[in-house]
Structure 1
């Protein structure tokens, strides 16, 4: 009888841990969370936007986006959450940041600033260009 109780407790704890991991992963709170980044050229001057998407460990190459064009890519946040493209883990993969977590991160590029669009249709979050 004791081994049945141990097996039941083990299975229950395993189920709860697995369930919690699925919930945290779907909310983007775990390392290796999947991200889908979409970048739109919304330059008012209708200029071509040239992107060079690279991270410390991977170079996705140089891309030219005409007016209204978009480019997308997928990646997983690394264990130390130091993955950087246009995505910053402390900003875009942190439930405590003012902009919240995004698993589908949609960026509109304007002359004054790059802006991350909000899924609820509210005002986008715009950030100053890095100097």
Structure 2
């Protein structure tokens, strides 16, 4: 009788643990196809303070890249607004973002931090 009760307990405990572990890995960006939301502030076709966003899933090989072009009077620049190796990698210097919020400035594109700290700014690709 004790075996039956223990077996039922383990049967219920295992799915709960599996869900918790999966959620932990997903939030840390360790699972393939993890959902992402990118918000890009300052897209050139929008007015100041407006934003543009899109949603996607990172591919299985974690090689997903989205590149955007930006233009100002007399200047154009491109930047990888999402790179799996940078934005979905817990070991990158800027960490994983499930909601990647960018502020685009002519001197540099900057990924805002959720904790309100200093944003992470990058050099333009071109």
TM-score (norm 1): 0.72
Q: Distance in 1 between matches of 2:37 and 2:14?
A: 32
Q: How does 1:3-82 map to 2 (within 5 A)?
A: 4=4, 9=10, 11-41=12-42, 49=44, 64-82=45-63
Distance in 2, matches of 1:15 and 1:122, equals: 35
Deviations 1:16-37 (A, max 9, x none): 2232112211332211111111
Q: Which position in structure 1 is the counterpart of 2:96?
A: 101
- Displacement of 1:12 in angstroms is 3.6
Structure 2 stretches of 5 or more lacking a match?
67-80
Query: How large is the Cα RMSD of the aligned pairs?
Result: 2.1
Aligned length: 111
| Aligned-partner Cα distance in 1 for 2:92–2:28 | 14
Task: Tell me which moved more, 7-16 or 119-128.
Answer: 7-16
**TM-score normalized by structure 2?**
0.75
Question: CA shift at 1:87, angstroms?
Answer: 0.9
Q: Distance in 2 between matches of 1:82 and 1:25?
A: 17
Higher relative contact order (CA 8 A, sep 6+): 1
Q: Which runs of 4+ in 1 moved over 3 A?
A: 3-15
Q: Kindly state the Cα deviation for residue 78 of structure 1 after the two structures are TM-superposed.
A: 1.4
Give me the whole-angstrom Cα distance separating, in 1, the residues matched to 2:19 and 2:115.
Answer: 30
Residue of structure 1 in register with 2:105 after alignment: 110
